[in-house]
Amino acid sequence: MERALKSSIWRAVGLSPAKCGGRGWWGVRYRSTREQRPPALRGDEEGPPRGGNGGGQLPPPALPEVSGAVADSRTSHEGLAPQRRPRPWHVSYERGARRAAAANRELWISQETDFSRARKRLEGKPLSVERTKGSEILFGIAPCSLALSQSRRDLFRLFLKQSSGSQRLVMSEFVLQATARGVPVHHVKRRELDALCRGGVHQGVCLEATPLRFKSLEEAEKPDLGDEERPNRQLIWLVLEQIQDPMNLGALLRSAYFLGVDRVVTSQKNSCPLTPTVSKASSGAMEVFDVYSTDDLRSFLKAKTAEGWEVVGTVSKPEDVENVPVISCLEFRWNKPVIIVIGSEGDGLSLETQLLCHRMLAIPPGRALHPGIESLNVSVATGILLHSICSQKLRHGD
């Protein structure tokens, strides 16, 4: 009875058990698919009747292509076309998510690039500050603070970074200093300070002021306050021949001030002026320490020799010096006023200046040196030489 019931069901759908081959669902699926599609019409003709009792059988329709579908490894019997399984939903979802993420990433990169370009255009615009004619911009905490506390410059405006936290106390002290000197204070953004000092390390402070100038040698000859009481005290002057790097000049002034040099004299020709960069490199020592200049360095050295001063040059390679004795800085003994002459960064002392020196000082190295790194930076070497000599001044008593 069960077999008869199955046979009647198969006949009702137009299939026989033999054609199904044990896979009746395949036939049912094909039949239901075919019946859902309307017959193809040509002109005014009607299509053939449906079902197994019609005038003829329709050819098996080709199933529509499904994007992302996977072909079934099993094929239908009796000429039925192979079926295609739809792609699992999570595979399609992951592919769509990846495409959306890539699109979002490209959009974000595009927007970020546009924002960076706009920001650079804005930052590239200089601050529209009308500078007082002949003024310059000091930058950095130490130079600006010392310039405010001294009376060596004319001061116009103080620019402070809009800040909070640890720098607030420092900024409030600047406001008090500026108020005491009658200097207007402007609170500005960091990029405006960067524009004012052209990218220098301003530490949140800029000061508009008149430049400092070299003093004349006539002023250098005037004794310092209190020197009249100690006329026989040891004196040491530092003379700079054609120092061109502002960072080196600032470091030299800082060491000279720290170690107790009495005067610093520089040659006018091919020498760096007293710029805000020099003041920053000197950590503000330039604001409190006078620097003198001469346009005739050789005549100056001859005049000091006639007055009883000893002129001592410096050299990195003793073999490069002729007709002048060279000793180690550790052997130098100081028994009268002395002038230490420092040469330029690249060439050292000129030959004419060397011949005006009584002795030449060299710094002994601590190891065998590799060719190419046989010398020290001029500011470092000067610091070592000055410490070696000035330490004798301290031992003898000032």
Average pLDDT rounded to a whole number, residues 54-66: 49
Nearest to 334 by CA among 383, 392, 385, 387: 392
Average pLDDT over residues 215-226: 77
CA proximity to 290, closest of 370, 222, 242: 222
Over 80: is that where the pLDDT of 151 sits? yes
* Distance in angstroms (rounded) separating the CA atoms of residues 259 and 252: 11
Q: Which tokens go with 315? A: 């050299």
pLDDT tens-digit map of 303-322? 999 999 999 999 887 777 78
Question: Span 320-346, mean pLDDT?
Answer: 88
Residue extent(s) of CATH 3.30.1330.30 domains in the chain: 136-209
Give the β-pairing of 338-342 and 236-240: parallel
Residue 338: pLDDT band (50, 70, 90) is very high
Model pLDDT, residue 125:
52
- pLDDT higher for 43 or 181? 181
pLDDT at 113: 74
CATH architecture observed for domain 136-209: 2-Layer Sandwich (3.30)
Partners of 215 in the beta sheet?
292
Q: Could you give the CA distance from residue 308 to residue 324 in angstroms, rounded to a whole number?
A: 18
User: In the chain, what percentage of residues exceed pLDDT 70?
Assistant: 68
Mean pLDDT of 37-64: 49
Q: Is the pLDDT reported for residue 360 higher than 60?
A: yes
Helix 141-149 / helix 168-181 crossing angle, nearest 10 deg: 30
Note the pTM of the prediction, 2 decimals: 0.65
What is the rounded average pLDDT of the residues 107-127? 64
Please tell me the predicted confidence (pLDDT) of residue 368: 85
pLDDT above 80 for 28: no
Within the chain, strands assigned E span 70-71, 84-85, 136-139, 155-161, 185-188, 205-209, 236-240, 263-267, 292-294, 310-314, 326-328, 338-342, 359-362
Strand pairing category for 338-342 and 310-314: parallel
- Give the residue range(s) of CATH 3.40.1280.10 domains in the chain: 232-367+375-391
Per-residue confidence at 225, pLDDT binned at 50, 70, 90?
low
Q: What is the pLDDT of residue 30?
A: 43
Please state the rounded mean pLDDT for residues 165-185: 86
Class of domain 232-367+375-391: alpha beta
Mean pLDDT of the chain: 78
The three-state secondary structure class of 269 is: coil
Average pLDDT over residues 315-344: 87
Contact by Cβ (8 Å): 357, 312:
yes
Give the integer Cα–Cα distance in Å for 275 and 236: 25
